[in-house]
Structures are given as structure tokens and as C-alpha cells.
Homo-oligomer: A and B are copies of this chain.
Amino acid sequence: MTNLDSVLAQVDANFDDSLKRLVTLVGFKSISTDPDYKEECQKAAEWIANELNGIGIDTRVHETPGHPMVVGHDSDTADKPGPHVLFYAHYDVQPVDPLELWDDDPFNAKVFEKDGVKMIFGRGSSDDKGQMLTFVEACRAYKEVHGSLPIAVSILFEGEEESGSPSLLPFLNAHKDELSKDLALVCDTTMFDPETPAITTMLRGLMGEEIIITAANRDLHSGAYGGPAANPIKILSRILADLHDDNGRVQIPGFYDGVEELAPDVKAQWDALPFDDAEFLRDVGLSIPAGETGYSVYEQLNARPTCEFNGITGGYTGSGFKTVIASQASAKISCRLVGKQDPDKIRENLRAFVEERLPADCSVDYIEHGSAPGHSLSADFPPLQKGAAALKDEWGKDTIMMGMGGSIPIVSEFKDILGMDSMLIGYALETDNIHSPNEKYNLESYHKGIRSWVRVLAALAE
């Protein structure tokens, strides 16, 4: 047996024990949003720290104003080949309401079989306790077989991911030196489908802005003022209408600065994906892709920036009718960002765009609602190529370089504060019911997930 094969064999041999540990971890009701479960969060953190210490990763539970951070470093990180990695996952879980929709106790994890597929049931089984333990169990197998890990490994486990991570930023800033490594490995994403491994290499960023147009100094009667009085709903509508052309292109000046077309090989891979545009839209009652023309739905979702209107309000919105001309109207706008788009520059240009269209006797106020740039790993980033090859070895299919329409804040925080890129590898499935009743994690996700990390660690050492 090669070094690698012996570790994989150890994973297989120990899988029943790995499963027992996942059942134990799911048993902690570590619901981070609910203060009633504070002690359960603490217990979960201590349990996992104890496990890490047990396999030779020196680990401490750090108290925070919220739930603890678990930070560990392999006892032996000197003179290793490859990058020093910081593995990130979170031990907290979503609330379980409505409890009556669960088929069983969410915290009493059990293995069951459905349609010939074995799964482990329970809140957090997938998001993110199952995913977290794939890495821990991979490390355990290495340590058991070889007494050491192939590369230098540090660990950061958070307990507030499901409640907005209030303690994360201060913690990263306070522990910058300790946590700044060469590469973050994040295990909180999905495969492309149950057979096809994926690395999420693109995450869209976000720029949120609220625009409040004020016209008259009070609400007016449309009989007495309709016509000569400026109507803020009209002004706002015209601004919003101007924000896209007929091809769905965003018209904010400079909006596409830093947006790159897909690399040809990624484009070829995406075009070949079994992603059904019609089915994706049909599922939500639609049939016509509404994004930029010239891009597939999958590209529109994952690789193209957007400017979406998330809310609008003005005037009388109750039932019936009121012949009012409102003083104010407002809209909440968010731009999903990709590549090197600069959220601050886009906010500034959006404001200029609004003000250019504002009558001189009206005014505008803004409320900022967050900003984060997009994230993307270049297709020729060496760890990415190594990781993709390792996953292909395990799953027998090409690894998809996946995009994700939403944001994972940790990724930009690792980049901004710790100066590291993140490689997002996960084994969850869209069907895992994360954040919903009856969450599950396929046994195959767990078992082959552990094996996958064994291979990725070996590959990164090369």
C-alpha cells in the first residue's frame, strides 16, 4: 500500500467510529441565535477541542462576548512541504422550528435509509458538523497511520456562523498573527450533484444601498397638487428603470470595471454541466431568463454581477385607495459583485447616477447596507488544481469549478484581515434540508468527504 492508500484504508476501517462521533456532536443543541442554548454551544466547542487535542492538534477554546472560538495548531507544523492551511468550519446550527415538521428528534442523530441511500439525520448533520468532521477524521486517520499530517494544519471553528458572526471580525483582528496562514480551507459548501465533486471558486460580493427620494415637504392631495408637484414615486421609478438597458446590462458608469469573462476552460466546463435552465426557472414559476442577454442562466447566477431591487415603498400602500402625492419614496438596492468590482466605487457611482436624475428641487438620502467584494480563485492557482485532481481521484468525475450566487462573508474577511485566499470544498447536497426540518447528510458525503480530505492534504504536500 502507498502512504495514501494506507490512510484511506484506515478511514474505511474506522468509519463506524467516525459516525459515532458525528452522532455525539449532533447531540449538542448548539443553536447560536438562542441564548437558552449558550451552554450547549460551550459544550460543543469543548467536545470538539478535546477531540482535536486527542489527535495531537493543540487546541484552545477562546471565550468571546458570544460563543467560543476553537483554535488549534498541529503539534508538528515545522518544515512541512506545501502551504500551511487554516481549516474553517462552524459548530453552531440553525434553530429547529417548526419542530412539528421534523420526523424525529433533531438532536438525536440516527442513520436511516431512503430510496436506497443511507443518510444521517439531525440538525447540523450536514451544516456544518458533518462537514467539519470530514476534515477532523481525515486528520485522525493520518495521525493514526503515520503519526503526522502531510502539511502544516491549523484549525478555526466558529460558533456564531448562523447568527451573523458578531465576534468573528474582532477575533480575527486580535489573532491576526496566529491565524494568518498560506491558505484557508473552508468546508461549508455543496457538491455539484451527488456524484460530482466541486470546488466553489467564485462567490458574488454585495453592495447594499437604500435610496430615499424626498420631493414636497409633506404628503399632498393629488387633486390639489397633482401635475405641478413633483412625485417621488415617479422620480424613483425613472431612476430604477434607467439602471438597466433592454439587454439587462447595468447602466451605472464603471459598473463592469473588474468584471472578467470566464476563463475558456471554465466556460467549456460550465457549458457542459447538466444544469437545466428551464427546470431551474420552472421551479419558481418562470420561464424566461431575465439577466444579461448572451449569458447562460448558470453564468448569470454565478459569474455575472447584478443590480437588484429588493424593496420599494412610497405613498399609500394599504388596502383601498388614497389620492395622495407622497413626500417620499424609497428603494432598497443590492448589487451582487464579481471579480474585482469595487463595492465602494460602485456605491459612489450609483449615487452620482441617482443625483444626475434628481430634479433640482428634490433631495435624496442614502442608507448603506453593507459591502463586500466578490471572491474568485484563478483557475491556475496551484492549490486549486491540486485539490481538483484529488477530488477527481476520489469521486471518479471531473471536479467542477463552481460559482455561488450568494456571499460567504468569511471568505472576504480571511482575505482582508488575514491576507489569505480560501478554497471552498464541501460534500453537502442541495437536498440536505439545511436550515429546514429533517436535515440530513448522506453517509457517502461523510465517508467519501473524509477520504477526499485525505487526498487533498496529500496533494497539497506535493
A residues apposed to B, CB below 8 Å: 204, 206, 208, 210, 215-218, 220-231, 233-234, 236-238, 240-242, 244, 277, 280-281, 284-292, 297, 300-301, 304, 306, 308-317, 320-326, 329, 331-332, 334, 336, 359-362, 369-370, 404-407
Contacts and interface: CB of A to CB of B under 8 A. Distances in A.
Nearest to A291: B227
Interface majority SS on A: helix, strand, loop or mixed? Answer: mixed
Contacts of A300: 227-228
Contacts of A234: 240-241, 244, 308-309
Given A217-B284, A241-B237, A405-B225, A231 B312 contact: no
Contacts of A210: 321
Contacts of A313: 312-314, 317
Contacts of A297: 227-228
24 contacts: A208-B323, A221-B406, A222-B406, A223-B336, A224-B301, A224-B405, A227-B292, A229-B286, A233-B310, A234-B309, A237-B238, A237-B240, A285-B361, A287-B360, A290-B359, A308-B323, A310-B324, A311-B317, A311-B322, A312-B313, A313-B314, A320-B369, A321-B370, A323-B334
Contacts of A222: 306, 308, 310, 334, 336, 405-406
A289 B231 CA distance: 11
Which of A229, A301, A326, A406 gathers the greatest number of chain B CB atoms within 10 Å? A229
A321 B334 contact: yes
A311 B326 contact: yes
Q: Which of A242, A310, A313, A322 has the most CB of B within 10 A?
A: A310
A237 B241 CA distance: 5
Contact of A241 (B240, B331, B359): B240
A452 to B, nearest CB: 25
Contact of A325 (B237, B280, B310): B310
Q: Give the 10 A-B residue pairs with the shortest CB-CB distance, closest first.
A: A223-B406, A217-B285, A241-B241, A227-B291, A311-B315, A227-B300, A237-B240, A233-B309, A321-B369, A313-B317
B289 A228 contact: yes
Contacts of A336: 222-223, 226-227
Contacts of A407: 223
A286 B216 contact: yes
A284 B232 CA distance: 13
Nearest to A204: B223
A359 B323 CA distance: 29
Given A227-B291, A240-B241, A359-B288, A315 B321 contact: no
